[in-house]
């Protein structure tokens, strides 16, 4: 039997990414608890670097996740729950 090694995601460095990560965590929690049906985060300073992390956190919480590419930045959308 061949063991499959899980892929590792780059985790953000402490600092400016930590604030964006806190916003992502809060958005996921708001949707997961039903406090908000959908949360969109725009203007994050490190959205491109954190999108894979946001995806994995949203999947772990059972929250739908979508990325929209605007003219100059990404918008991360969490929700709505089905």
Higher per-residue confidence, 82 vs 77: 77
* Closest to 54 measured CA to CA, from 68, 36, 70: 68
| Model confidence pLDDT, tens digit, residues 5-54 | 766 666 655 667 888 999 999 999 999 999 999 999 998 988 998 999 99
Domain segments of the chain: what residues?
16-78
Residue 53 parent element (H or E): helix 47-61
Per the DSSP assignment, residues forming a β-bridge with 67 are: 76
Q: What is the pTM of this model?
A: 0.79
């Amino acid at each position: 039997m061949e063991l499959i090694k899980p892929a590792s995601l780059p985790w953000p460095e402490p600092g400016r990414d930590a604030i964006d990560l806190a916003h992502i965590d809060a958005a996921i929690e708001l949707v997961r608890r039903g406090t908000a049906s959908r949360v969109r985060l725009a203007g994050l300073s490190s959205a491109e670097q954190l999108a894979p992390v946001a995806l994995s956190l949203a999947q772990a919480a059972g929250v739908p996740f979508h990325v929209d590419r605007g003219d100059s930045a990404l918008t991360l959308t969490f929700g709505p729950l089905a």
